[in-house]
Structure 1
């Protein structure tokens, strides 16, 4: 796990060092850079290394293979040993035990199709000196980030946008991105907060021609939303097959030359990963959870029950209020784009203290999206009944509900006015009420809507696919990458192995959701290792008690940061409407903490990064 950087722009050595130092937290073990010059054209590669596999300096990057292949690589290719064995038989030689060298050899053997062979999380760029091109890719599910700048002539890329921003004088802040951020809570791919910088989409590869300056990207993987690859076996067959794939995914992710642990929240997904790790690891598994003092937010005792049953070496990290406040105030240094998922703060605390014990941690991310695990899926299904009623009748009902003094009923009133259940779900993910956003952009308009707005699958499967391409990629993966990298911790997600995602995608819905049982098949696999009674409780999210904090301990901070002058200065919002909504939160009539948190983050980001930069 590392931070990568590269450019064809004419930066000097000190400027390149500055760009690498800006995100040195991603890889504190070694910082390296290299200037390559050929035919009056310069390519610069830089790398911050977090040493995980082959700790020897021989595997430091930028790395050169067979003299003409140069690479910077962030992430892991978990099946590199299998690929290495195949390539060795074809005559390739290796001087390290790292996956970086194998990636280079695979490119020489398979060309751009090499990415089809990789199982892992990665973003990388290869400078193919012989063919005078840059070739790169981002992993299938978007675990690892990749930002790039292309002006038709030059090219620059980095793991985080702040490295591109530093020493650049031609970037403008994107008003469109801010509008989308206020709606989604993040800046959706391929946009970035700067108009001139984009994100390479998950499951995409690219080439940049150093002679012509031409940039081309294309997908090499996607989930099947046509419903063609259907599983034909029985439920028991599927359960056994899932166990086999899961065991392989966890085992491969336990391999490292540094200590490895498991995040354990006490929920189904993390418990399944911990149980599988317990079965496949010879060493005693280290597990980590977060404890909150606020009633209704602390589930650490459930994690303790699972840890006790599995006999893991368990560590409980208490979420300290003052420590949390410090992270809030420095949030934008690590999340260097506006990002308003409040669970980023406990994620950072978990990473910070886990790093004291291990360098790699396995997580349960991905189970809810692939195996139909969010409560909102069931709510969407139940709510779909009302959309069989004619719109005029629904509008009449909405009018009545809007008069009642309860914010939840007011939200339902607005939702009833959507055209159909697809639009309702899209609205639920962006915010049903966007009246406070002052913009001409339709922020619900994203290319990924195609995974939702079709008739090839039932509603459960469509929203599952849509979440995989949006919420999982834009939110969850961004949150985990920045939170873990802030403290130089590598996080691996076995349930995001693309083979598991593809397998889940092929299963009949009843294997995943049956008689109100969500994540049915995952739970049945889990219950073979951990008692079912531990999980007989409502599902809880991983969040902070911001709603209470903003009304109590942090009330003065909120009102100071989001005063009248500040609100008037923030782009894309109706200041008067927002002020009214903040007051609703403070007097307890409406829970507006997501809006307040998103505005606090935006204000902090603009204050830190927006000085002297125009918005367009």
Structure 2
């Protein structure tokens, strides 16, 4: 787990050091950079190392193999030992015990197809000096970030956009990206906050030819959204097969040359990961959870019950208001482009204190998307019957609901006016009420709509596929990567192994969602080792009590930051409409905290960057 950087542009040594120092929190153990020059073509590779496997300096990066293969690599290839064994049989020799060296040898043996051999999370770039070629890739589910700049001649890349941003005087802020941010709460791939910088999409590889300046990207993996590989076995077969896959994904992620722990929220997914970890580890597992003092937000008691049953070394981290405020003030330093998932704050607190004891933590991310676990999926089922009614009838019902004083009924009224459930779900994920957004851009238009708008699968399978490609990638993975790397902690997600995702994707819906029982098959695997009664409670989210804070403790902060003058300086919004919506939140007539947080984050980023760049 690290931060990577590289460029063909000309920077002096101090400038390169500054670029690496900007994201040194991603890898504080060793900062390294190298200059390469062949045929008058300059290449600079840089790396911030967080030492996880083979702590010896021999595995520091940039790393060179066979004299002409140079690499910077962020992430882990969990099956590198088996790949290494095969390569040794083919005659390859190794000087380290790292996965970095194995990745280089695999490239020499398999070429660009090496990517299909890797199980893991990664973003890497190989400089093949003989071919004068960059070859790189981002992992299948987008766990690791990858930003790049390409002007037709030169190329620059980094784990975070702030490194590219430094000493780059031709960047412009993207008004389109701001419009999309206001809808999604993040900036969907491949866009970034700057027009000239893009993100490499998850599951994609690329080449950059240093001689011609040609850049080419293409997908190497995708989920089976066309339903071409359905599972053929029984439910019991599937349960046993899933259990074996999970044992492998968890045990492989426990391997490290540094201390490892598990994030334990007390929910199904993290409890399952913790359970399998205790079964497969030879040492006592450390687990970590967050405690909130706010009524209705503290789930730590359930995590403690699971920890007691599994007999883990459990640590409860109390969410401190003042500490949370400090993180809010520094939020954009770590996320370095607008990002509005408020659960990033407790995620950062969890990471900050977990790092005091371990360097790697396993999480339960990915279970909800692959196994139908979110509350909104149940609501989708309940709403299904309404869309059997003709649209004119639904519009009459909407007109009646709009007269109700309750804002939730007004939201339902808006939903009833959509043509079908696909449109409703897209609206739910991009903000049902976009009346405050003032833009000419169609901010719902992303490439990933193809996973939702088709007839190859039923509605539940389509929306979970869509969430995997959007919400999981754009939001969850971004949140976890930045929150953990802010404190030099590596997060590993066994349920985001592509084998788990592929297997879940192939299963019949009733294996995952049956008679109101969400994540059915995951729960049945879990209940083999943890009592069912511990989980007989409503599902809870990982959120901060911002709704109350914005009306009480942080009211003055909100009103000062989002006053009339400030709102008028923010692109793509109707300032008067937003003022009215903030007033609704303060008087309790409508919970507008997601909008308020979204605008606070955007304003903080613009305050730090807006004066340096024009908006186009």
Instruction: Please state which band the TM-score falls in when normalised by the shorter chain.
Output: over 0.9
Partner residue in 2 for 1:327: 327
Partner residue in 2 for 1:555: 555
Q: 2: distance between equivalents of 1:528 and 1:239?
A: 11
Residue 26 in structure 1 maps to residue 26 in structure 2: yes
> How big is the shift at 1:23?
0.1
Q: 1: distance between equivalents of 2:70 and 2:331?
A: 34
- Which residues of structure 2 form unaligned runs of 5+? none
SS in 2 for 1:212: coil
Q: 1: distance between equivalents of 2:537 and 2:51?
A: 40
Partner residue in 2 for 1:66: 66
1:67-216 equivalences in 2 (<5 Å): 67-216=67-216
SS in 2 for 1:36: strand
SS in 2 for 1:107: helix
> How big is the shift at 1:384?
1.9
Q: 1: distance between equivalents of 2:73 and 2:609?
A: 27
Q: 2: distance between equivalents of 1:382 and 1:266?
A: 27
Residue 342 in structure 1 maps to residue 318 in structure 2: no
SS in 2 for 1:47: strand
TM-score by length of structure 2 reads 1.00
Q: 1: distance between equivalents of 2:384 and 2:189?
A: 29
SS in 1 for 2:73: strand
Partner residue in 2 for 1:495: 495
> How big is the shift at 1:94?
0.2
Q: 1: distance between equivalents of 2:354 and 2:612?
A: 38
Partner residue in 1 for 2:379: 379
Please give the per-residue CA displacement for 1:223-257, whole angstroms capped at 9, x wherever unaligned: 00111101111101000000000000000000000
SS in 2 for 1:567: helix
1:374-413 equivalences in 2 (<5 Å): 374-413=374-413
Partner residue in 1 for 2:428: 428
> How big is the shift at 1:375?
1.1
Q: 1: distance between equivalents of 2:161 and 2:445?
A: 24
Partner residue in 1 for 2:287: 287
Q: Which moved more, 1:27-36 or 1:441-450?
A: 441-450
Partner residue in 1 for 2:354: 354
Q: 2: distance between equivalents of 1:250 and 1:507?
A: 21
SS in 2 for 1:448: helix
> How big is the shift at 1:391?
1.3
Residue 584 in structure 1 maps to residue 584 in structure 2: yes
Q: Which moved more, 1:254-263 or 1:387-396?
A: 387-396
SS in 1 for 2:462: helix
Q: 2: distance between equivalents of 1:225 and 1:327?
A: 39
> How big is the shift at 1:378?
1.5
Partner residue in 1 for 2:310: 310
Please give the per-residue CA displacement for 1:492-531, whole angstroms capped at 9, x wherever unaligned: 0000000000000000100000110000000000001100
SS in 1 for 2:121: strand
Q: 2: distance between equivalents of 1:4 and 1:577?
A: 42
TM-score by length of structure 1 reads 1.00
- Which residues of structure 1 form unaligned runs of 5+? none
1:223-238 equivalences in 2 (<5 Å): 223-238=223-238
Q: Which moved more, 1:604-613 or 1:365-374?
A: 604-613
> How big is the shift at 1:167?
0.6
1:471-510 equivalences in 2 (<5 Å): 471-510=471-510
> How big is the shift at 1:264?
0.1
- Runs of 4+ in structure 1 deviating by more than 6 angstroms, as ranges, are none
Please give the per-residue CA displacement for 1:124-147, whole angstroms capped at 9, x wherever unaligned: 000000111000000000000000
SS in 1 for 2:198: strand
1:33-44 equivalences in 2 (<5 Å): 33-44=33-44
Partner residue in 2 for 1:599: 599
SS in 2 for 1:67: coil
Partner residue in 2 for 1:523: 523
Please give the per-residue CA displacement for 1:2-60, whole angstroms capped at 9, x wherever unaligned: 00000000111111000000000000000000000011110100000000000000000
Please give the per-residue CA displacement for 1:69-127, whole angstroms capped at 9, x wherever unaligned: 00000000000000000000101100000000000000000000000000000000000
Q: 2: distance between equivalents of 1:600 and 1:524?
A: 42
> How big is the shift at 1:394?
1.1
> How big is the shift at 1:395?
1.1
Q: 2: distance between equivalents of 1:475 and 1:598?
A: 13
Please give the per-residue CA displacement for 1:528-555, whole angstroms capped at 9, x wherever unaligned: 1100000000001000000000000000
> How big is the shift at 1:612?
2.2
